[in-house]
Structures are given as C-alpha cells and as structure tokens.
C-alpha cells in the first residue's frame, strides 16, 4: 500500500516542479507580443531571405522608424559588387587628431546623441611610443599638440575576423567585398564579438539610440546605418550605404588633411593600391593574424 | 544525457516491434521532406551587382576664395567675415614695385603674417598684376593655377596629392559612378603661413568604459 502512494506523491511533486520550471523557462515566449512580432520571430536568416521577404522587412522597419522617431527614412538593401574589394589606409604623418572623422561617423550612422557614440576612436599617443594602453581618447586641448601623434581606430574589416568566429548565431559575417556586417535583427546581444575584437571596434547599444528627428540621416541601409535597436552590437561598415553606391565614406570626406585613403583593392590604378605599394604600411596588431583591410602608413 | 549503446539498441528494437497506424507512418515519412522544403527553399544565393565600369567621372579641384579675395576685419549682415575681391582695390591702384618683406607693408595688407621660408613677395607675386603668379623659371601662371607654383618646391606632397593620399576630397571613389572634388593646397594652407594651425578637437567621447576616470582606475 505504502509503495504506490509514495510513487503517486513523487509523481505529483515532480509534475508540479516540471510544470513550474517550464512556465518559468517559457516566460520570454509569453511576453513575445510586446516587442517582437510573429513575423520577426519566424523570419529566416538574412542570407536565406527571398527578395519579397526582404522587401517586406525593409518596409516594416521604415514604418517602425516613422512610428518611433517621426521621420520618413529609406532603408535599402545594397548587395556587394563584383570585382570590388574594399581597403582603407590612414596616414599617421598628417592626422592632426581633430576628431572630425568621428563626428562625421556620428552623424552619418545615426549614432546615439547622448553618448556621442562613433565607430571611430582617435587615440593620442606620445611620439616614439606605440603603447595603445597609454594613449588617451578624451583629450580636449588644441591639436596637434607638440610631441603627440594621433591614431584613429575603427573596424579593420579583418579577413580572418575573430568577431565573426565567436558569434554563436551567425548574426555577423563577412561580405564578398570584405565588409564585416551585423544583422541587428539577428543579434542576440551576447557581446562575444565585442570581447573578441582586438581593436575595440564594436559597440553595444545599452539603450535605444536617442536622436532628434531633424538630425536623423534618412538615407539608410539594412546592414549599415539604420537606427539600431536596444541590446544589439554595432560596428563600422565602411559606410556600406555610401561606398556600395560608389561614394567615399563619410569619415574620409570629413578629414581636413586628407589622411584617409579609400578604394578598391582589386583596381591596380586605385589610390589605395598606390599607397600599399609605395608607402611604409603597417597593420595594427599584425601578430594576431587577423589580416585587417585597414592600414596605417607614414610619409617618411 | 548520454545513452549507452545497449539502451539505444533496445529502444530501436522496441520501436520496430510497435505497429504504428498507417496515418502516423505516412506523416512521419513526409515530415522531414516538408521541413527540408520549408527551411532550405530553392532560392538562389544573393547575386552580386555588376563590377565598376570605365572611369568617366571628372576630378575637379576646389577653387578657394582666398585666390581672388582677401579677408577684411568687417563682418556682413549675417555676421560672416567680409571678404574683399582683389580687383576691388587693384583695378584702380596698380602697384609698380613689390616690397621685399611684409614689414614694408605700410598702407595695405598691413599685419600680414609671413612664415614661409626665406621667400620674398616677389618670389611669387607680380607687380601690377594681382591675377598672376610667377614661377621660378619666370613663366607666368594664372592665380587659379596656384598649385603649379606650390609644386615647384613641395615634391613629396605633390606626389602624394596626385595619388590621393594628401589633401581632403569629397565625392566618389568609383569614378564610373560620379566625379570627385579635391581640395586645393590653399584650402588648408595659407600660402603666407602654410603650417596647419592647431584647433580644438570636436565630439569628445562620452561612452563609458573608454574615457579615463581617476576613480575607476585605468580600465
């Protein structure tokens, strides 16, 4: 008699605990309607989307931006171009550390105004030293200061990108033209990529970006400067929404000294190729084997 | 959970013995196929756009105001510094000689700073013709071609400029799509005091974790 009774009691306790655990685990699913539509949840990976599905997503994102920020924007999907492989070089001999590149990035890429966020960090360092750890990024004196040099750092679009390798959900990948992109709607915000990047090039959206309506750049792309949601990682895309249309990146246009050289590595007559072939070029943290597409060079 | 081989084989044997109804068996057979169809689809991989065409875009050089006008100490109605075209004065007043140094300027162009090597006014300027410049070999060039004058001495900068690695620009990297506007030497370098003047940086970073705060240590 006592055996079966105990068995029943254990079954009841087990079932109750199991149901409780299931309910707890399923909580996010119950709250699903709040921030995420069914359509968003069931969609396929960016690379598997049909043109129709992608168009639907773009129109939905445009409508959401209108609702949240009160602005009409255009979000395009611009595929990579055949015969194009982007490269970027920066002349440390003439960079003056004015941070105009960081400011242009801030405006072009719809960054959060509260944090002055930008994909570019300009590091001020002692001449003759190369210790990044001893550099400062929040200097506020007139530049160029005597005895200092300036090194802007942004995403190096590595060919062997550590950030891409660590992503557990394939929310970030390398495109055919060399640009490492993030699908902000696929990112789960684990920040592994941020930790993996040796150049501190990735940023996390702790909060939803705050941008006044009249400052929003309405010319947006899905994998680039559309306004990011809270809780996802973002990074420099070499201004994909501009450069895949043949334009120069915003940071280059803003540079008053012409320290920045951008172009197609596959075009032997391009300026970037001339720099790589004729200047003293080096890559940051070469020993890590990340194979960056961002190069630094000196005049002498 | 790790099943031992024994357990697994018993389960398989058990499953073989059970007679499932035909409907269940058909569904079980079709399900993987249906899932495969739904998930993988038959979409072709996303196509790349065609490669860049031949370069047709023009590369223009910006023409700075400084070549044809001079700043005054006056401001216009909108508060902008008022510039005076060279021709405003020089159409009436044609100097016959040039001073050798800026200290000799006693009536016009007073207070002009000059820090550009050991050059004298006549090294570049032409007495009586404010629209022209004289190259070292004596040939006259138009003021708008002032860069040809700079090129005489600044070889490495000229070489770098010609390969797009000195001097700012706007427009297209891909000249098959559109043109490009290059800065003129004089856009950034005052010909009389060519060293780049220090200025205050913009956009101080405010994102936490990267600015140095004494209380947080050096991280």
pLDDT in tens, chain B (219 residues): 444 444 444 444 444 455 555 555 555 556 555 555 454 445 556 789 999 999 999 999 999 998 988 888 888 888 888 888 988 888 888 888 888 888 888 777 877 889 999 998 999 999 888 899 999 999 999 998 999 999 999 999 999 999 999 999 999 999 999 999 999 999 999 999 999 889 999 998 886 555 554 444 444
Asked if the Cβ–Cβ distance from B206 to A114 is below 8 Å, we say: yes
**pLDDT at A290 exceeding the cut of 80:** yes
CA separation for the pair A43, A31 (Å, rounded): 18
Q: What is chain A's mean pLDDT, rounded?
A: 93
Q: What angle do CA A55, A60, A65 make, to 5 degrees?
A: 125
CA separation for the pair A283, B58 (Å, rounded): 32
Q: Report the candidate in A50, A126, A202 with the shortest Cα–Cα distance to residue B41.
A: A50
Strand order across the beta sheet in which B140-142 lies: B125-126, B129-134, B140-142
Q: What is the pLDDT of residue A2?
A: 56
CA separation for the pair A18, A235 (Å, rounded): 42
Task: Determine the residue of chain A that is closest to B38 in CA distance.
Answer: A44
Asked if the Cβ–Cβ distance from A248 to B172 is below 8 Å, we say: yes
Residues A97-151: tens digit of each pLDDT: 999 999 999 999 999 999 999 999 999 999 999 888 899 999 999 999 999 999 9
CA separation for the pair B21, B3 (Å, rounded): 28
User: What's domain A86-298's architecture?
Assistant: 2-Layer Sandwich (3.30)
Kindly give, in sequence order, each residue whose CB lies less than 8 Å from that of residue A123, ignoring residues fewer than 6 positions away: A132, A135, A136, A137, A150, A151, A152, A153
Residues A51, A258 contacting (CB under 8 angstroms): no
Residue with the larger pLDDT of the pair A16 and A41:
A16
Task: Determine the residue of chain B that is closest to A46 in CA distance.
Answer: B46
Six-digit token string for B207: 């994102």
Residues A266-275: tens digit of each pLDDT: 999 999 999 9
Asked if the Cβ–Cβ distance from A50 to B163 is below 8 Å, we say: no
Residues A143-158: tens digit of each pLDDT: 999 999 999 999 999 9
A248 touches chain B (CB under 8 A): yes
Asked if the Cβ–Cβ distance from B165 to A91 is below 8 Å, we say: yes
Number of A/B CB contacts below 8 angstroms equals: 157
Residues present in chain A in total: 300
Q: What is the pLDDT of residue A256?
A: 93
Stretch A3-23: mean pLDDT: 90
ipTM of the prediction: 0.85
Q: What percent of chain A has pLDDT over 90?
A: 89
Interface of B with A in 63-82 (CB under 8 A): none
Residues A176-210: tens digit of each pLDDT: 999 999 999 999 999 999 999 999 999 999 999 99
Q: What is the pLDDT of residue B111?
A: 78
Kindly give, in sequence order, each residue whose CB lies less than 8 Å from that of residue B36, ignoring residues fewer than 6 positions away: none
CA separation for the pair B200, A154 (Å, rounded): 21
**pLDDT at A16 exceeding the cut of 50:** yes
Backbone φ and ψ of B181, nearest 5°: -115, 120
Out of A89, A99, A257, name the one closest to residue B202 (CB): A99
Best of A98, A124, A135, A181 to substitute, by most chain B Cβ atoms within 10 angstroms, is: A98
Stretch A17-22: mean pLDDT: 92
Residues A179, A240 contacting (CB under 8 angstroms): yes
Backbone φ and ψ of B30, nearest 5°: -80, -30
Out of B168, B177, B200, name the one closest to residue A245 (CB): B177
Six-digit token string for A235: 């990074």
Q: Report the candidate in A85, A47, A61, A49 with the shortest Cα–Cα distance to residue A244.
A: A85
Count the neighbouring beta carbons within 10 Å of the beta carbon of residue A199.
22
Residues B27-36: tens digit of each pLDDT: 555 655 555 5
Q: What is the pLDDT of residue B13?
A: 46
CA-to-CA separations, A171 to A185, A194, A200, A238, in angstroms, rounded = 8, 13, 18, 18
**pLDDT at A279 exceeding the cut of 50:** yes
């Amino acid at each position: 008699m006592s055996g079966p009774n105990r068995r029943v009691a254990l079954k009841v306790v087990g079932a109750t605990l199991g149901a409780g655990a299931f309910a707890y685990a399923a909580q996010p699913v119950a709250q699903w309607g709040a921030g995420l539509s069914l359509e968003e949840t069931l969609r396929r990976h960016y690379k598997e989307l049909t043109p129709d599905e992608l168009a639907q997503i773009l129109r939905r994102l445009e409508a959401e931006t209108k609702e949240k920020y009160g602005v009409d924007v255009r979000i395009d999907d611009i595929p990579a171009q055949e015969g194009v492989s982007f490269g970027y070089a920066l002349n440390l001999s003439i960079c003056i550390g004015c941070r105009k590149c960081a400011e242009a990035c801030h405006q072009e890429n719809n960054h959060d105004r509260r944090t002055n966020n930008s994909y570019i960090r300009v590091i001020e360092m002692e001449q003759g030293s190369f210790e990044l750890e001893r550099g400062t990024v929040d200097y506020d004196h007139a530049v160029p200061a005597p005895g200092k040099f300036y090194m802007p750092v942004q995403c190096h679009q590595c060919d062997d990108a550590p950030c891409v390798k660590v992503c557990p959900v394939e929310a970030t990948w390398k495109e055919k033209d060399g640009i490492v992109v993030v699908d902000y709607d696929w990112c789960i915000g684990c920040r592994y990529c941020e930790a993996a990047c040796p150049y501190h090039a990735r940023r996390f959206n702790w909060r939803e970006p705050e941008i006044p309506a009249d400052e929003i750049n309405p010319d947006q792309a899905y994998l680039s400067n559309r306004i990011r949601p809270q809780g996802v990682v973002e990074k420099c895309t070499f201004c994909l929404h501009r450069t895949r249309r043949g334009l120069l990146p915003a940071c280059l246009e803003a540079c008053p000294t012409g320290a920045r050289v951008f172009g197609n590595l596959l075009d032997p007559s391009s300026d970037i190729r001339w720099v790589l072939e004729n200047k003293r070029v080096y890559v940051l943290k070469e020993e890590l084997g990340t194979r960056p597409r961002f190069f630094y060079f000196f005049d002498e | 959970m790790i099943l031992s081989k024994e357990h697994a084989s018993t389960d398989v044997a058990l499953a073989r013995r059970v007679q499932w109804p035909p409907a269940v068996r058909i569904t079980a057979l079709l399900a993987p196929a249906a899932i495969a169809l739904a998930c993988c689809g038959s979409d072709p991989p996303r196509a790349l756009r065609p490669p860049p065409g031949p370069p047709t875009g023009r590369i223009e050089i910006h023409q700075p105001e400084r070549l044809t006008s001079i700043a005054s100490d006056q401001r216009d109605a909108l508060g902008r510094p008022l510039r005076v075209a060279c021709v405003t004065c020089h159409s009436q007043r044609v100097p016959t000689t040039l001073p050798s140094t800026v200290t000799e300027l006693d009536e016009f162009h007073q207070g002009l700073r000059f820090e550009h090597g050991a050059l004298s006014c006549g090294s570049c300027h032409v007495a009586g013709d404010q629209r022209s410049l004289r190259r070292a070999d004596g040939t006259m060039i138009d003021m708008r071609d002032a860069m040809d004058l700079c090129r005489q001495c600044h070889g490495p900068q000229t070489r770098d400029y010609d390969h797009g690695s000195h001097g700012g620009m706007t427009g297209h990297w891909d000249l098959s799509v559109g043109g490009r506007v290059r800065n003129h030497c004089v856009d950034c370098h005052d010909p009389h005091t060519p060293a780049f003047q220090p200025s205050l940086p913009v956009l101080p970073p405010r994102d936490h974790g990267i600015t140095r705060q004494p209380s947080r240590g050096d991280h």
